[in-house]
């Protein structure tokens, strides 16, 4: 996907001024935030499971090479074809080759964020293949020619009215007003595509090393259809998705579904091992798995490695005050919210996403709810430090900090300037004792008033009391 993270500030300001978006984002609270809080009450040992999930993910990363080799061996033993892609372009190229070799004209997709990273849909469509997203949310944004704004609920930024208009325009049917009716209409429109597609593409929530199995977590049923009905199935997965055993998947799922949508379990869990076997009634003739690097080995080698534990639940963004205010598009790439603030600079380059690690209050709501205990504020802080070390901060900020360092090292100058500012501040505060404008600090004082200083500095008052 094209990177527009450089425009975060502008897009965030637009988002804040958009009442429809603010209303749409408020739906997050009811379902995702409260949902999660209620569903984790079912687990009497939540923190124990979180710690174990963190360990399991760390184990997988610490032995990633051997687990990937085991996964490949076991998948191939069951007739799957395993490919390795170093970059996003390689993924696109491999998928197209598989499609061409199999005379594929129509593809159905069950959502893949990795596919968003590589721009897979556009690439395949440019090559003349019809690509149909089948997750309701993904279908909506595909029709609207937009990008997803949330990793679980990609169309969350759209109101029902807007979607009704979109459906009327695209389906050429009478405009529906009820969300249930709109959903039924989408089911009716998409059903023929499931039955006529040549190839299905999915992501993978986890890759299970012990059995060579790829699994997906869904609610709608399109994942089941995509992995069973067409004659070719391609699963694309980041190499970090591997887990050792089915037991690991079982216990981590308890956290994944609760953290994502407040569900005790997701409607459909689909574990796929190899293509159609002799004697099987259903299944594709060919099953391809593409294991993807695309920057993951670089993150593995860095001090951001913990971010690779991510199981893509979306809890961090659901609970983030910044995401709740501006939504996902402002972040400018595939992953929004706190995990996006870390992965975007890691994958697309620090210099292309300078504002993201800074768009945080460090409240650590994300760290508290993360099922695998990724220390997101710490990772954002590391990215901020890297920005300074590499001289990527704006010159005005660097100058201001250098001036501050000069003053702070000179106690006499510090005391004199503080006395001056205190007096000026008291004068500027007037009778209301509030300062409405901060010269040089407009981005703060535009929305806030600062209480005026009482007129003397702390040191003066202290000296007087003595």
Residues 290-329 that bind other proteins (CB under 8 A): 291, 293, 297-298, 300-301, 305
Q: In angstroms, what CA-CA distances link 92 with 85, 116, 356, 397?
A: 9, 11, 27, 41
Listed ranges 277-285, 320-328, 373-381, 452-460: which one lies at the site for other proteins (CB under 8 A): 277-285
> From the CB of 288, what's the least distance to other proteins, in Å?
14
- Burial string for 215-238 (b: 16+ CB within 10 Å, else e) reads bbbbbbebbbbbbbbbbbbbbbbb
Stretch that binds other proteins, among 84-92, 97-105, 112-120, 124-132 (CB under 8 A): 84-92
SS3 category, 453: coil
- Environment class of residue 76 by beta-carbon count within 10 Å: exposed (0-12), middle (13-18) or buried (19+)? middle
Nearer to other proteins, 188 or 388 (CB): 188
Query: Nearer to other proteins by C-beta: 182 or 330?
Result: 182
- Shortest CB 375 distance to other proteins, Å: 19
Name the minimum Å distance from CB 349 to other proteins. 18
Residue carrying structure tokens 């610490």: 62
Q: Which of 37, 126, 160, 399 binds other proteins (CB under 8 A)?
A: 160
CB 164 within 8 A of CB 180: no
Nearer to other proteins, 297 or 364 (CB): 297
Residues 197-216 that bind other proteins (CB under 8 A): 209-211, 213
Min dist CB 204 to other proteins, Å, is: 14
Task: Give 11 or 176: the residue with its C-beta nearer to other proteins.
Answer: 176
Q: 106 to 135, contacts with other proteins by CB under 8 A? A: 134-135
Report which secondary-structure segment, H or E, holds 268.
strand 268-272
Q: On the CB side of 76, how many CA atoms lie within 13 Å of its CA?
A: 10
Q: How far is the CB of 329 from other proteins (least distance, A)?
A: 17
Query: Cα–Cα distance between 374 and 376 in angstroms, integer?
Result: 5
Closest-CA residue to 334 (of 63, 85, 106, 120): 120
Compute the least distance from the CB of residue 27 to other proteins, in Å.
Answer: 4
CA 119 to chain centre: 16
Applying the rule CB under 8 A, the residues between 10 and 49 that interact with other proteins are: 24, 27-28, 30-32, 42-45, 48-49
- Give the separation between CA 310 and CA 99, rounded to whole angstroms: 30
Q: Out of 37, 126, 250, 363, name the contact with other proteins by CB under 8 A.
A: 250
Contact segment (CB under 8 A) with other proteins among 50-58, 372-380, 405-413, 443-451 equals: 50-58
Residue selected from 203, 275, 337, 429 as contacting other proteins according to rule CB under 8 A? 275
Task: Pick the stretch among 115-123, 188-196, 327-335, 376-384 that binds other proteins (CB under 8 A).
Answer: 188-196
Q: Which is nearer to other proteins, 120 or 140 (CB)?
A: 140
Question: DSSP secondary structure string, 407-447?
Answer: HHT-HHHHHHHHHHHHHHHHHHHGGGTEE---TT-HHHHTT
Question: Is 362 near other proteins (CB under 8 A)?
Answer: no
């Amino acid at each position: 996907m094209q990177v527009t993270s450089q425009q975060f500030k502008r897009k965030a300001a637009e988002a804040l001024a958009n009442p429809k978006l603010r209303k749409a984002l408020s739906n997050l609270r009811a379902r995702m935030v409260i949902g999660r809080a209620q569903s984790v009450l079912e687990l009497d040992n939540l923190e124990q499971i979180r710690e174990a999930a963190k360990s399991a993910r760390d184990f997988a990363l610490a032995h990633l090479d051997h687990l990937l080799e085991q996964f490949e061996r076991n998948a191939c033993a069951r007739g799957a074809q395993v490919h390795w892609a170093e970059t996003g372009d390689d993924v696109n190229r491999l998928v197209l080759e598989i499609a061409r070799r199999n005379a594929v004209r129509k593809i159905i997709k069950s959502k893949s964020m990795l596919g968003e990273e590589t721009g897979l849909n556009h690439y395949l469509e440019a090559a003349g293949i019809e690509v149909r997203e089948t997750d309701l949310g993904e279908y909506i944004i595909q029709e609207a020619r937009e990008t997803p704004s949330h990793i679980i609920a990609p169309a969350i930024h759209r109101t029902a009215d807007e979607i009704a208009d979109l459906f009327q325009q695209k389906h050429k049917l009478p405009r529906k007003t009820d969300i249930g009716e709109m959903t039924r209409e989408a089911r009716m429109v998409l059903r023929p595509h499931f039955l006529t597609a040549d190839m299905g593409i999915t992501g993978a929530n986890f890759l299970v090393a012990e059995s060579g199995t790829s699994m997906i977590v869904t609610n709608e049923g399109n994942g089941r259809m995509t992995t069973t009905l067409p004659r070719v199935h391609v699963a694309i997965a980041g190499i970090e998705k591997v887990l050792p055993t089915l037991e690991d998947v079982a216990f981590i799922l308890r956290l994944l579904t609760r953290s994502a949508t407040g569900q005790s379990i997701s409607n459909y869990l689909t574990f796929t091992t190899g293509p159609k076997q002799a004697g099987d009634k259903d299944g594709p003739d060919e099953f391809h798995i593409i294991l993807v690097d695309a920057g993951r080995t670089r993150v593995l080698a860095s001090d951001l490695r913990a971010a690779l534990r991510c199981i893509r639940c979306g809890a961090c963004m659901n609970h983030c005050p910044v995401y709740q205010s501006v939504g996902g598009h402002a972040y400018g790439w595939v992953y929004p919210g706190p995990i996006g603030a870390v992965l975007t600079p890691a994958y697309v380059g620090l210099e292309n996403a300078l504002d993201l690690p800074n768009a945080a209050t460090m409240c650590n709501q994300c760290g508290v709810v993360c099922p695998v205990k990724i220390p997101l504020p710490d990772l954002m802080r590391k990215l901020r430090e890297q920005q300074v070390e590499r001289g990527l901060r704006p010159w005005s900020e660097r100058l201001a900090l250098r001036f501050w360092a000069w003053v702070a090292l000179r106690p006499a100058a510090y005391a004199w300037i503080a006395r001056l500012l205190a007096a000026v501040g008291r004068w500027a505060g007037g009778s209301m004792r509030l300062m409405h404008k901060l010269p040089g600090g407009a981005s703060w004082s535009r929305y806030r008033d600062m209480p005026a200083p009482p007129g003397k500095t702390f040191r003066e008052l202290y000296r007087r009391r003595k």
